[in-house]
Amino acid sequence: GSTLQAAAAETNRYFGTAMAGHYLNNSGTMTIVNREFNMITAENEMKMDATEPSQNQFNFSAGDQIVNWARSNGKQVRGHALAWHSQQPGWMQNMSGANLRNAMLNHVTRVATYYKGKIHSWDVVNEAYADGNSGGRRDSNLQRTGNDWIEAAFRAARAADPGAKLCYNDYNTDNWSHAKTQGVYNMVKDFKARGVPIDCVGFQAHFNSGNPVPSNYHTTLGNFAALGVDVQITELDIQGSGSSQSQQFQGIVQACLSVARCTGITVWGVKDTDSWRASDTPLLFDGSGNKKAAYTGTLNAL
Ligand code: XIL
C-alpha cells in the first residue's frame, strides 16, 4: 500500500488519526486525513464537557461535524470518551455520590444512544487507573461513587448501542512489568470472567524520552488479547525526530502486527504543529504537511 490506510488494510487493520474540529477549515490537513486514514477520533469534541455542557442539555454539534465528515468520506469513527475524570463539565466536577453516579450513567446512555450505529468502538472509560506502583484505581469523583462505576458504565453503553465495540482506554499501560499495566489487566480479566461487557482495550501510547516505547510491548498486547479482547493503539505520538523517532514508530507497528487481535493504530493528530504537545514534534507530518522519516518508517513497517 502507498498510504497508511491501504498498507494497514493489507492485514485487515485500520490506520486512524485524531482530528480536531479546526482541521475541517484547513484543506491541506484534510487532504492528508482523507488520503492516509480510515478511522477518525474527535480530539475533544465528543468528550463530556463538549457534549453535556449543562446537566441534561446535550450539544452534539461539534461532534457531529467530525462524525458526519468521517462517515460521508467512508471513514469509521472511534468514540472518545464517555466517562473520564478529566474534561468534565463544570456542573459535574463537584458532584458526588448517587447524584454523580446517576449523572454519569445518564451521560453514557444519552451520548451512546445519540450516536448509535455510527461508532466502531467507544472509549467507554478513560484513564481510571493510578500512575505509580499501586496498581490500583485513580482517585477521582467517579471512583468515589463506588468501585463498580466502571462496569456500570460499560453495561449502560452496551444497552444504549449494542453494535459498538466497548473499550477501556489508558496511558502508561504499555510496559508489561508496570503495576498500572497489571492493574488494568486484572480488571479486564475479572470483567471477562464475570460477563461485564468489554470488547477491547485501548493503549494511548504517548511516548517521550522519559517514557520510551517498551521492548516488551508485543508481550503486553498479546497478554491482553489472550483475555479475549481486541487491542488497539489509540493515541500514538512519540517525541523526537529523524531516524530514532522513525524506529520507535516502527517498533509500535511491529508489536501490533505480531498480535492477531491488535486491530488498528491511531495517531493523535496529523501535523506536528497541531499536536497537543507540539514542542515534542511527535507526529508523522511536519507543520507544512510534509511526510517525516517517521511516516516512511511507519508505512514501510505496515
Ligand atoms: C488531549 C487533547 O489532545 C488536547 O487538545 C486537550 O487540551 C486535552 O486532551 N489522553 C486522552 C486524550 O485520552 O483525550 C487527551 O487529549 C490526551 C491524553
Find where cell 456500570 sits: 152
pLDDT tens digit string along 257-279? Answer: 999 999 999 999 999 999 999 99
Helix H or strand E segment including 82: strand 76-84
pLDDT tens digit string along 204-216? Answer: 999 999 999 999 9
Residue (of 280, 282, 279) closest to 269 by Cα position:
282
pLDDT tens digit string along 72-127? Answer: 999 999 999 999 999 999 999 999 999 999 999 999 999 999 999 999 999 999 99
Helix (H, G, I), strand (E, B) or coil at 278: helix
pLDDT at 295 over 90: yes
Instruction: Quickly state the pLDDT bin for 1 (edges 50, 70, 90).
Output: confident
* C-alpha pair distances (Å), 103 with each of 12, 44, 97, 99, 133: 38, 20, 10, 6, 31
Instruction: Quickly state the pLDDT bin for 235 (edges 50, 70, 90).
Output: very high
Task: Answer for the pair 170, 83: CB distance below 8 angstroms, yes or no.
Answer: no
Could you report the predicted ipTM of this complex, rounded to two decimals?
A: 0.99
Ligand 1 and 126: CB distance under 6 A: yes
How far does residue 143's CA lie from ligand 1's centre (Å)?
20
Residue (of 212, 140, 134) closest to 172 by Cα position:
212
Helix (H, G, I), strand (E, B) or coil at 161: coil
- Residue 36 appears among annotated catalytic residues: no
Ligand 1 and 234: CB distance under 6 A: no
- Ligand 1 mutation target, pool 276, 277, 279, 283, most atoms within 8 A of CB: 276
**DSSP string across 212-254:** PPPTTHHHHHHHHHTTT-EEEEEEEEE---HHHHHHHHHHHHH
- Rounded to 5 degrees, φ, ψ at 40 are -120, 130
Assess whether the previous peptide bond of 6 is cis (omega < 30° from 0): no
Residue with CA closest to ligand 1 atom 3: 276
